[in-house]
Structure 1
C-alpha cells in the first residue's frame, strides 16, 4: 500500500516532535498564561499595549469560564442567612390592586412612608425615583382647569402640593432616596446628588471606581427633606449580577451606594470612610464596620437563595391597613421597592434565580451584618499564575522523559493517562471548592484546568504524530503508530 505525505503534515510533525515537544508546550504555556492575565490584569500594574490588545481581541477568552465556575461554587454552596436585619416592603400586585396602579400620587406614597415610620425602623431606603413633579398635585390640576372654574382653581392652589406632603413625611422618618446612575444625558437627568460626605483615607480612588456623568435623582425639594441620598447600581456580566459597588463616582465626586448610606443613617454617623491604597479601594466603612472590597470599591456577593429570604417580604398593603406585626419593622433596615408584575426591575443572580433588584440590595446589607464576604484579592491572580507556571514547567520537564514513571505507565496502560489527568483535575477543582467554602476565596480552577490540559495535550499530539500516515483504499488518511520492532515499518517510503 502506498503512503502519501503532505508538506503541512510534515511541518506539523516536525514542530510537535522537536525536542520531544518541549518548545511547543512551552510556547502554549506562556501564550495561554499571557491571555489569562490579560483577561484579568491586576489593577496595581500598568497595562502594556500587548495586554490591552489581547484583551480587546479575545475579550471572553478566560473570563466567561471563570465566571461560570464561580457561579457553580455558589450554586453548590449558597449562603444560608443567619440574621435578618432587613425587611422589604414590597409594592406588589395585591397592593396595586387595592391602592391603585403605579405611579402613585406623592401624597399616597407619603402615607406609606408615614405608616412605616410609625413602626420605628432604623432606616428606610426607597428604591423609587421621582425626578419630575407630580401631575396629580393640586396646583398642577388647577393649571388644567378651564377659566370658568377659576374659584375651584384658587382653592386647589391653596392646598399643599403633593411634593410638600411627601417632603414632610421624608423628613419626619429616617429616609434615604435612591438614584439611578446614567452614562448619558436624558430628560430630567442631573449631574449632582445631595449625598453624605465620604472621607478618603489614602490616595484618591476616584479613577478606580465605577464612574458616571449623570444621575436620575428625585426632585431637589425631596432630596433636601430626606436624610440621605444614594446611588443604586449593580455590575452586570453576561446579564448576571455577581458583584455590587459600595461606592461610585459621579463626575468628580464619590457617592455611596444604598446599603452603605442606610448603615450610615442607622448608626448615626456623619460620613462614610473609604480606605484606599495604590491598587485602589481596600475597604469601605461606617462607624465600627469595615467592609473589604475589590480595588474598584465593589464586593463579590455570596448569595442566599430567594427561597430562604422570602420571610423578609411584607406587602405594602398590610402596612397601609395596619395588619403587619410591628416587630417586622421595629429596629430594622427597611427597603421599599416595586415587585408587582410589569413594574419590577428583575435581575439574575449566580444561583440562576430571577429576583427583584431590591432583593440584591438587601443581600448586600445582610452579608455586611454577617461578615461573610467573597474575596478575589489582586495577589490571588499572581498566585494562580505562579502555580500554573510551576506545574506547567514540571510537566514540560518530566513528561517527555522516556524513562520516567509516567512514560512507563503510559506504555503499560495507554488509557490510564486519561484517568490520571481527570483525577488530577478533579482534585484541583475539589481543592479550589474547599478554599471557597472555608475562606470565601474565589480561586480560578478553570484557568488552571484549561492551560495545563493544553500543555499536556502538546505531548499527546507529539505522540500521535510520531506515527506513520497512510491512505486507505477508499482514500482516507490514517495514522499508524511507529513500531521499530516491525521490519515492515522500516521499509522506505514511496
Structure 2
C-alpha cells in the first residue's frame, strides 16, 4: 500500500513539473473557464447540448460564489432612496384586531379600496388574489339556510353579492389585481389571465423568459372589473430574492409583473412594449419609460435597507378610519398587502433582511422611478471570459521563465506566487466595487479569482515541490561524520596521606639565618 501511494505521489510530482508546470496550468485554465461558462452561459450563442447532460450531477460552485459576491456588493453599497413614489397600505395586526381576521368578506375589502380611491392616488395595486367565491356573500349564506327560512333566503339573494360590491370598487378606482404563476394545476388555478397586450419589437422572446402553464388569479368577475392584471412572482435563488421578472410567459403569451402593469395603468397606455433580439430580451417599455432587462426578462434589483423605507407604510385601519393625511396619497402608487403576523409572505433580500413580499414590489417601482438599475449585460460575461483567458495565458507564459525576476522571486520565496495572486485579486475586487457603485455593473470577480488563483496555484505547487526536492538532495549529499569513540580521561594519581611528623615539620617556623632576627645593639 505504501509503495502504491509513493508511486502516485511520484506520478503527480512528475506531472506537475512536466513542461515547467505549463501543461497542467493550461488544463486548469481552460477546464475551469468552460465550467464557468456552463454555470452562466451568455446569450447570443446557442448553449452546447452536451451541457444539458451535466445539469443534474455537475456541481456549480461558480454560481454560488457569484451570488454571494453580488450580495456583498449590495451590502457594501445599498441603494439609498431619493424618492418615495410608493405608499403601502398594510393589513397589519392592529387592522386585523379592529376589522377581523383574514380573509375578510369582500365587501370589507371593497370599503378599503373605496377609502384609498377617495384620496386620488395614481394607481392601486392589490398584492392579493381571490380565486374562490366569498362564502360570506348573501347568496352563499342563503344557500345554507333551512327550508323554513325561505323568505329570508329570498331576501338575501336579492342583495348584491360581495364580489359585485368589490367589482364596483375596482372598476371605479385605477386598480390592478395580482396573480401568481405556478407550475402545476390545482382546483383553483386556470390557464389564462385577462391582461393587457404586450407588443414585441424584434424577436419573440416567449422561449427565453420563464414560462408557466397555470396561474392562481382572482375570479373572472373581478378580473373584468380591474383595470389591470399582473404577476407577483419573484425569482428565488438559494432562498434569496435577487432578480425579479418584469415579463413572464403564461402558456403562449407574455404577461407583465405588477410594477410594469401599474405604470401602464398610470400612463393609460394601451400596451406594454418588449424589445428583444436573438440574444433575448433587451428592455421593457411603458410610455416613455424603458427598463433594461436580462435576456430572460429579469432585472437585478438594487435593494434599499428596510430601515430606510419604513415611512411608506400606513395601517389599513387608519385608512378606514380616515386618520391618514390625504397628502400622503397624492401622486403616489399605492400597494395593498398583508403584513399581519402569520399572513405575510416574508422574503429574504440580497441585504440579508427579511421583508414582506409587498416591500419587494415597492422597491421595483422605486428603482424604475429613480432609473438606478443594476446591469449584467451579455457582453460583460464574454469580456470576463476573454480577460480570464488572456491573463491566465500571460501567467502561464511568464512565471516559468527562469530568467525573469518573478521566477527568481518564486524560487527564493515559494509563497511569493500566492502573495502576488492575493494582491492582484484584491485590486480586481476594488475595481469591481467601484464599477458597481458608480456604473451599476455586476462584474463576476469571484469566478475570475477562482480561476486565476487555481492557475497560479499550479506554479506555487511546482515551486514547493522544487524546494522540497532541493532540500532532500542537500540532505543526501551532505557527508556523514561518524562520532569519535569516547576516550576515558586519564586516571588521577591517588595522593597518599602524609605522616603526622611531616605535617608537624611543615608547620615549624624556619630558623633565622645570619642572626637576622637578633636585636640591634
TM-score, normalised by the number of residues in structure 2: 0.89
1:389 alignment partner in structure 2: 389
Q: Distance in 2 between matches of 1:207 and 1:454?
A: 37
Alignment of 1:435-454 (within 5 A): 435-454=435-454
Pairing of 1:299-318 with structure 2 (within 5 A): 299-318=299-318
Superposed, 1:261-276 pairs within 5 Å as: 261-276=261-276
Q: CA deviation at 1:414?
A: 4.4
For the 8 Å contact 2:414–2:464, the answer to whether it is kept is no
- Report the count of equivalent residues: 478
Structure 2, unmatched stretches of 5+, are 481-521
2 CA distance for matches of 1:433 and 1:409?
31
- Tell me the CA shift for residue 480 of structure 1: 5.3
Partner of 2:108: 108
Question: Displacement, 1:416?
Answer: 3.9
Query: What's the counterpart of residue 130 of structure 2?
Result: 130
Hey, what's the Cα distance between the residues in 2 that align with 1:249 and 1:79? 30
Match of 1:62, SS state, is helix
**Does the 8 Å CA contact 1:39/1:55 hold for their aligned counterparts?**
no
Does structure 2 retain, via aligned residues, the 8 Å contact 1:35–1:54? no
Distance (whole Å) between structure 1 residues aligned to residue 441 and residue 85 of structure 2: 25
Which residue of structure 1 lines up, in the alignment, with residue 203 of structure 2? 203
Secondary structure in structure 1 of the residue aligned to 2:160 = coil
Q: Deviations over 1:199-231 (max 9, x none)?
A: 111111100111110001101110011111111
The unaligned stretches of length 5 or more in structure 1 are: 468-478
Residues in 1 aligned to 2:26 and 2:415: alpha-carbon distance in whole angstroms: 25
Aligned 8 A contact 1:283 1:290 in 2: yes
- CA distance change for structure 1 residues 111 and 402 in 2, over 3 Å: closer, same or farther? same
**Equivalent residue, structure 2, for 1:145:** 145
CA contact (8 A) 2:414 2:463 kept: no
Per-residue CA deviation, residues 304-348 of structure 1 (Å, 9 max, x unaligned), is 000001111111011000000111112210000000011000100
Q: Secondary structure at the match of 2:61?
A: coil
Give the alignment of 1:406-425 within 5 angstroms: 406-425=406-425
Which residue pairs with 1:38 in the alignment?
Answer: 38
**Which residue in 2 is equivalent to 1:22?**
22
Matched residues in 2 for 1:368 and 1:70: separation?
A: 20
**Is the CA contact (8 Å cut-off) linking 1:247 and 1:256 kept in structure 2?**
yes
Counterpart residue number, 2:63:
63
Larger-gyration structure (1/2): 2
Contact 1:279 1:295 in 2 (8 A): yes
- Structure 1 residue 4: deviation in Å? 11
Aligned to 1:364: 364
* Residue aligning to 2:477: 488
Distance 2:383 2:425 in 1: 18
SS in 2 for 1:375: coil
The aligned runs of 1:304-383 (5 Å cut-off) are 304-383=304-383
**Cα shift at 1:409:** 2.0
- TM-score w.r.t. the length of structure 1 is 0.94
Q: What residue in structure 1 maps to residue 73 of structure 2?
A: 73
Residues 1:268 and 1:413: Cα distance change in structure 2 (over 3 Å): same
Structure 1 position 294, deviation (Å): 0.3
Return closer, same or farther for 1:387/1:439 CA change in 2, 3 Å cut-off: same
What is the rounded CA distance, in whole Å, between the counterparts of 1:413 and 1:11 in structure 2? Answer: 25
Q: C-alpha distance in 1, partners of 2:171/2:147? A: 37
